[in-house]
Structure 1
Amino acid sequence: MTATLASAGEPSFGIMTAPAQVAYADVLRVWREADGIPQIEHAWLFDHLMPLGGDPNGPAFEGWTLLSALAARTERLRLGVMVTSNRFRPPAVLAKIAATVDVVSGGRLEFGIGAGSRPEPAARREYAAHGLPFHDPVHAVGSLAEACAIIRRLWTEPAPFDFRGDYHQLTGAFCAPKPVQRPHPPILVGGQATPTLRVAAEHADVWNMPGGSIDKAIERSTQLDRLCEEIGRNPAEITRSIVLPVSYDRPRDTRHAVRAALDGGFGHIVLGLPAPYPTEVARWAADTIITPLSGKTTAPEPRNHR
């Protein structure tokens, strides 16, 4: 069966380490530490080929390659990319990559996908730099909807099939090995524009709000409810997820944001950890941010925090 990110009524907490302006050893250290902390249930990377902040020519690791390496070095954490740009890889290739990571991880993949970067210069330059087309939003969302359908079929159908869509055409499409999880890894669709929410209403097990205010997140979640009802789907079938930035210096502010998100119906919380990562930052996040929300005491702030 497909594993779920959170049981009904029980929030789940994870961390996100953007794989840019950091070393592999630093990301690995945080993930391996988090792997031994039960309060942290999932961990995430992002999918950008160049940095979005800091030195524009600094290091940025390819997300799915790094995810596979981290999957091989962890044992418990559920893991994923928050979220994969559908503009970077053909969907059949992405389905094969994701199935491989699910096998490597022993069935721990959470499959995050979105339409791709918004057209800010810092994000858009990575497409030109890698010879990738940057289509308009209508094309991007239409391609995303077809990609979700293709990937699900590749993970579940036992025989090759043809696909003739407006954006993708496949002949004899097939994926082997299949993912470990049955019927397939959970599909997380990220984004906040209404067309993307329509894709989430149809295809997502989890919907992620990528950022912004809690009020905006709640408004978008309500819109997702309406879109689900339009197609006859129970909105409660879709777990609500949000990424919230962590402040090492102001943990109380982070806790307040998390509490507001929980109260707003978001049961899947991803704590964005800014680099450089303090010593034992995963333990600090669990003790200082996560545990107090269940009524326990806080821990000291992390060593070497900025």
Structure 2
Amino acid sequence: MSQVSFGIATAPMQVGYPDLQRVWREADAIPEIEHAWLFDHLMPIGGDPDGPIFEGWTLLSALAAQTERLRLGLLVTSNRFRPPAMLAKIATTVDVVSGGRLDFGIGVGSRPGHPLARREYEAHGLPFHDTKTAVESLAEACTVIRRLWTEDEPFDHEGAHVRLSGAFGNPKPVQRPHPPIVIGGRSSATLRVVAEHADVWNIPGGDIEDVVSRSALLDRYCTEIGRDPATITRSIHLGVSYDRPAATREAIAEATDAGFRHVVLGLPSPYPVGVAKWVAEELVSPSA
């Protein structure tokens, strides 16, 4: 079995910048933690609905400049928030700032049934398209972004959802041919996009039987288009309990036994002093 990589996720809401800085800098010095993640929301989806929250890509760039080793990204970018050509430029900038450490996370965007997530669209003047349109837009965005990262001449794109004239990306990302594409989601429609475009697939943990069935469905979609399912790394986000580390270790064991080799451990705030070291000693090392 291939080695499991462990990372942390720090939702940038209901927390201050110095605390996020502290945790990421500490994690950067701990080899057992290989990657670190933020999320992409514009208003809190937990706790005080009017509490503080930072914009993900801006914060990611700041943390990229203050770390040296961690791979980093957003789990995952909402494709509903930014036009794909603009997003390609933002991501390239972070890959350059980080010296080629970006894992490019992207997804359809907020679930329609999540009222705290849904409200951020009207609050920021953003359209909230139906799910079918959003999934189609995600697939087209992945195509456009990859072209901007890799093509050496300006191009036009006349798609169903994206229209570009004279599009060109310069500079290119540090990573060649491009940063790994991490697509998050669990719906069957999204999994078809994963099969076509992703290097890594991420799913929130929970019901392990459902997670395993979704992974099997992804295998089927890959086979249908002639792709080896093993070329897509399986990633899972698992919530951490500071008070019940044994429960977290059990969830990790279930996920890795099911073939998930990329584990993201979601850290609730407030973050205890030395939390990254605690993760390495209590969760990662016993699970290795």
Give the TM bin, normalised by the shorter chain: over 0.9
Match status 1:148 vs 2:142: yes
Indicate the residue corresponding to 1:126 in structure 2: 120
Say which of 217, 220, 227 aligns to 2:221.
227
Indicate the residue corresponding to 2:239 in structure 1: 245
Say which of 266, 288, 298 aligns to 2:260.
266
The Cα of 1:213 is off from its aligned counterpart by 1.4
Q: How many residues align?
A: 287
The Cα of 1:275 is off from its aligned counterpart by 0.2
Equivalences for 1:29-108 in 2 at 5 Å?
Answer: 29-108=22-101
Aligned mates of 2:121, 2:130 — CA distance in 1: 13
The CA deviation string for residues 84-110 of structure 1, in whole angstroms up to 9 with x for no partner, is 000000000000000000000000000
Aligned mates of 1:21, 1:219 — CA distance in 2: 34
- What stretches of structure 1 move > 3 A for 4+ residues in a row? none
The Cα of 1:212 is off from its aligned counterpart by 2.8
Letter in 1 for 2:236: I
The SS at the match of 1:162 is strand
The Cα of 1:211 is off from its aligned counterpart by 3.3
The SS at the match of 2:103 is strand
Aligned mates of 2:57, 2:130 — CA distance in 1: 25
TM-score (norm. length: structure 2): 0.99
The CA deviation string for residues 246-304 of structure 1, in whole angstroms up to 9 with x for no partner, is 0000000000000000000100000000000000000000000000113xxxxxxxxxx
Say which of 150, 154, 161 aligns to 2:155.
161
The SS at the match of 1:170 is strand
The SS at the match of 1:109 is coil
Aligned mates of 1:48, 1:210 — CA distance in 2: 16
Indicate the residue corresponding to 1:195 in structure 2: 189
The CA deviation string for residues 144-190 of structure 1, in whole angstroms up to 9 with x for no partner, is 00000000000000011000110110001111110000000000000
Indicate the residue corresponding to 2:102 in structure 1: 109
For structure 2, list consecutive stretches of 5 or more residues without a partner in the other structure: none
For structure 1, list consecutive stretches of 5 or more residues without a partner in the other structure: 1-7, 295-306
Letter in 2 for 1:247: S
Aligned mates of 2:211, 2:165 — CA distance in 1: 40
Match status 1:286 vs 2:280: yes
The SS at the match of 1:132 is coil
Letter in 2 for 1:141: V
The SS at the match of 1:13 is strand
Indicate the residue corresponding to 2:205 in structure 1: 211
Indicate the residue corresponding to 1:236 in structure 2: 230
Letter in 1 for 2:69: R
The SS at the match of 1:44 is strand
TM-score (norm. length: structure 1): 0.93
Match status 1:135 vs 2:135: no
The CA deviation string for residues 221-262 of structure 1, in whole angstroms up to 9 with x for no partner, is 000000000000000000000000000000000000000000
The Cα of 1:123 is off from its aligned counterpart by 0.3
The SS at the match of 1:99 is helix
The Cα of 1:216 is off from its aligned counterpart by 1.1
Aligned mates of 2:53, 2:61 — CA distance in 1: 16
